[in-house]
Amino acid sequence: MSAQLDRQVLEVATALFVEQGYAATSLEKIARVIGCSKATLYRRYSSKEDLFKAVVAERGRMLLDEAGAVEASSTDPLVATKEIALFFLDFMLRPETREAYRIVIGDGHRIPFIADEMMETIVEPFVATLCRLLKAAADAGRIKSANHEETTRVLMSLVIGWPLQNTMLGQNQVQDARARQQFFDRAWGIFLGGIGCTDNA
């Protein structure tokens, strides 16, 4: 029952943060929607900041679990990089992820520790995964990359820069799966050209 309640708290909190924003969401409102007492909720999370941190951490776990699974099962580091990059694009455009990101940007002054923690526990491990894959591809002579972290950040910018900006501005030109795939294929092609790929991945 405790694990079930924990899942429900995160699901409801995520939904309310997405629908109503950070400022308009309170622990009292979350408890009311769940149907539990405020005391029950406060035993798990001492503040709204702590609960939002848990929401962000849960999103991060999903991203890192997927990246880790692809890395562990792949025999081709460049194909694995492509698969993770495509998942990253889809993941960042999900309403729950996008709105959590918007809150971190827009309400960062209210919760300044969140951005630092997100970088340390989500972004840096994700970048490290892609760095390992790109290093393996470079070591195999498949690509030219000396600074794998920089190459990773270029890839991430190519893949999500415009789609995320476009979506957050309400233009939604890549909400359609076909349009998103088309954009990704073009971005990936530009990336491969830029790193001197020796074959098609």
Domain coordinates in residue numbering, the chain? 1-46, 57-194
pLDDT tens-digit map of 178-189: 999 999 999 999
Task: Tell me the one-letter amino acid at 164.
Answer: L
Q: What is the pTM of this model?
A: 0.89
State residue 135's pLDDT score.
Answer: 96
**What CATH number is given for 57-194 in this structure?**
1.10.357.10
pLDDT for 53-111, tens place per residue? 999 999 999 999 999 999 999 999 999 999 999 999 999 999 899 988 888 888 777 77
Locate 190 and state its tokens: 């530009």
Residues 6+ apart with CB under 8 A from 169: none
- State which CATH number among 2.60.120.260, 2.40.30.10, 3.40.50.620, 1.10.10.60 fits the domain covering 1-46: 1.10.10.60
The confidence score (pLDDT) of residue 116 equals: 87
d(CA 131, CA 150): 9
Burial annotation 109-130 (CB, 10 A radius, 16+ → b, else e): eebeebeeebeebbeeebbebb
Say if residues 192 and 138 touch (Cβ distance below 8 Å).
no
Burial zone of 29 (CB within 10 Å; 0-12 exposed, 13-18 middle, 19+ buried): middle
Report d(CA 183, CA 161) in Å as an integer. Answer: 11
